[in-house]
């Protein structure tokens, strides 16, 4: 049995009247890439917010490394979050800081590294995503794909045990998509860590995922290896993978 590093256990979650997750459970296997698929608005980003304690569920538990983070006080959560990298759906870099300063920020905030160590680590991490020449650029000077990569660099710079990627390739050309998918795989191998990736891009999911979880109507309705998900007899999974209008998914 593989080790589970994070777990949603019977989680329900609303935004006001809107029920987003209902009795939702998910295991995140240590050292693997887990991809979450599902319709737009299904609650995928919400799952990532729960996994790093940005949101708390109405009921159920969220365990990370064996600790139930739902009851963690905010000051402990801040500390805990430094062990989780978050590459946001929109890169979310600070416009007033250079790329280098953006990537260095988590090191400044969460470690006692010296200034020269911080710069060296930030430069090394930028190099690992192919942005070694962009340390002194501002975000406004980079393309969308470069910003995504800078966001990856900032998410992994502290060497976190888990990295959460929210739609890392959405809206990018096929070559950059391939490159970023490869980057996620390579960073995971380099960090010897765990990744949870939300993506709508089936090709890149098939390329990187160890496990695929499908979120539908508030819960994970299918969870398996890529090969088994592709061969799944579940009509909802099949309709989603084929992008068909015909099937049980309401349009």
Ligand X SMILES: Nc1ncnc2c1ncn2[C@@H]1O[C@H](COP(=O)(O)OP(=O)(O)OP(=O)(O)O)[C@@H](O)[C@H]1O
Minimal distance in Å, beta carbon 57 to Mg ion?
17
The CB-of-159 to Mg ion minimum distance in angstroms stands at 26
- State the Cα–Cα distance between residues 137 and 164, nearest whole angstrom: 25
Q: Is 130 or 218 the residue whose CB approaches ligand X more closely?
A: 218
User: What are the Cα distances from residue 236, in Å, to 4, 22, 38, 39, 210?
Assistant: 26, 18, 10, 11, 20
Task: Identify which of residues 90 and 186 has a Cβ nearer to Mg ion in the complex.
Answer: 90
Q: Please state the φ and ψ torsions of residue 170, each to the nearest 5 degrees.
A: -60, 130
The tokens for 72 are 């963690």
Q: What residue 18 binds from ligand X, Mg ion, none (CB within 5 to 8 A, per partner kind)?
A: ligand X
Shorter beta-carbon distance to ligand X: residue 113 or 236:
236
CB 103 within 8 A of CB 138: no
CB of 210 to Mg ion, least distance (A): 21
Q: Which residues bind Mg ion (CB under 5 A)?
A: 45
DSSP state of 2: P
Whether 181 contacts 205, CB under 8 Å: no
Residue nearest to Mg ion (CB): 45
Token code pair at residue 65 = 């490394």
Would you say 44 or 188 has its CB closer to ligand X?
44
**Please, what is the minimum distance in Å from the beta carbon of residue 33 to ligand X?**
18
Q: Which residues contact ligand X (rule: CB under 6 A)?
A: 15, 18, 20, 38, 40-46
């Amino acid at each position: 049995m593989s080790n589970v590093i994070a777990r949603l256990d019977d989680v329900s979650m609303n935004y006001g009247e809107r029920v987003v997750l209902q009795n939702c459970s998910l295991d995140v296997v240590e050292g693997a890439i887990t991809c979450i698929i599902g319709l737009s608005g299904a609650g995928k980003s919400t799952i990532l917010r729960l996994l790093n304690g940005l949101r708390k569920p109405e009921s159920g538990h969220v365990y990370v490394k064996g600790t139930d983070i739902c009851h963690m006080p905010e000051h402990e959560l801040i500390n805990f979050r430094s062990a989780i990298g978050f590459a946001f759906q929109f890169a979310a870099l600070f416009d007033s800081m250079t790329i280098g300063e953006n990537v260095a920020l988590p090191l400044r905030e969460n470690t006692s590294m010296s200034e020269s160590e911080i710069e060296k680590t930030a430069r090394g991490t930028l190099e690992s995503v192919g942005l070694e020449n962009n340390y002194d650029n501002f975000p406004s000077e980079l393309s969308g794909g470069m910003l995504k990569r800078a966001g990856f660099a900032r998410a992994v710079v502290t060497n976190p045990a888990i990295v959460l990627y929210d739609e890392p390739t959405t809206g990018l050309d096929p070559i950059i998509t391939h490159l970023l998918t490869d980057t996620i795989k390579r960073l995971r191998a380099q960090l010897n860590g765990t990744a949870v990736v939300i993506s709508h891009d089936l090709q890149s999911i098939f390329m990187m995922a160890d496990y695929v979880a499908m979120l539908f109507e508030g819960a994970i309705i299918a969870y398996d290896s890529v090969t088994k998900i592709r061969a799944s007899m579940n009509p909802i999974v099949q309709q989603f993978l084929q992008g068909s209008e015909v099937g049980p998914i309401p349009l």
